[in-house]
Amino acid sequence: MPTTGAKPIGAKDEASAAQAVQQMFNSIAPRYDLLNHVLSANVDRIWWNRTARRFRNVLGDPDAAILDMCCGTGDMTMALLKHRPRGARPILAADFAHAMLSRGAQKFGGPGVGTREPDAPCAIPIEADALHLPLPDASLDLIVTAFGFRNLANYEAGLREFYRVLKPGGQLGILDFSEPGGLIGKGYAIYFRHVLPAIGRAICGRDGPYNYLPASVGNFPPPPQMLALMQTVGYAQSHWQSYTFGIAGLYTAVRPQAA
């Protein structure tokens, strides 16, 4: 049977898989930012900023309705906000892991958070499940998700829910890991499956989360399969852009205009 979504160890169905992922990210929230930057040698910052630049046209529209799904501790949200003009409509930043979202809100919250000026671009935190968004049909111009889509319990259901809330002509961006090929892929596989879990365990004091990471990437559909799934759901202009020799990549697509 083909894989439908994330499968943490011990998960028996989609509900238990989602619960396990939620608990895992809540547990590592205090060390999440440190681990991300250490394990990626800060290359993750380049990926977020490159993704945000890809959508700078829609981000530059002050009236555009934008969602950063699976926002975690808010680094992708902050990259998107760099391209929002003053007085722009706030970005919606959603995650179902409360501890992660709380940390993100400290970075991207509205007036009164930190030293943010009253009309500076901001984001509104929303605790929500990507498979059941509390948003009306055809209400968003852009959805971006960075390193979170891979953790959904059902990939097709996630794509369908994003399709539902996008306006005709609305854009989708999914930034996530992939498995590069060739000699680079072989070397990276050693790091990803052996070195990375050991570093993660040493920093956060937990074994499971950073063993789950390489397993989740191996379980995630490769680009041709993911693009085919996007087309099956109904997206147009589906494309994958490789980042850093294929270690990560950006999927883009558009909900077609109504006939």
User: pLDDT of the chain along its 259 residues, tens only?
Assistant: 355 899 888 888 999 999 999 998 998 888 888 777 776 778 889 999 999 999 999 999 999 999 999 999 999 999 999 999 999 999 999 999 999 999 999 888 755 555 567 788 899 999 999 999 999 999 999 999 999 999 999 999 999 999 999 999 999 999 999 988 888 778 877 877 777 777 777 766 666 677 788 888 888 999 999 999 999 999 999 999 999 989 999 999 999 997 5
Q: Kindly report the pTM of this predicted structure.
A: 0.92
Q: Residue 31: what pLDDT?
A: 80
Instruction: Name the DSSP letter for residue 129.
Output: B
Helices and strands of the chain, counted as H and E runs: 11, 7
State both tokens at 26.
Answer: 């809540």
Per-domain boundaries in the chain: 14-254
Closest CA to 71 of 41, 35, 98: 98
Domain 14-254: assigned CATH number: 3.40.50.150
C-alpha to C-alpha distance for 253 and 235, rounded to whole angstroms: 6
Q: Residue 1: what pLDDT?
A: 39
Q: Which residues of 87-115 are buried (b: 16+ CB within 10 A; e: fewer)?
A: ebbbbbbbbbbebbbebbbebbbeeeeee
Q: Residue 17: what pLDDT?
A: 92
C-alpha to C-alpha distance for 241 and 47, rounded to whole angstroms: 11
Q: Residue 35: what pLDDT?
A: 73
Angstrom CA distances, 105 to 77, 84, 118, stand at: 10, 17, 16
Burial class (CB in 10 A: 0-12, 13-18, 19+), 248: buried
Residues across the chain? 259
State both tokens at 57.
Answer: 């046209």
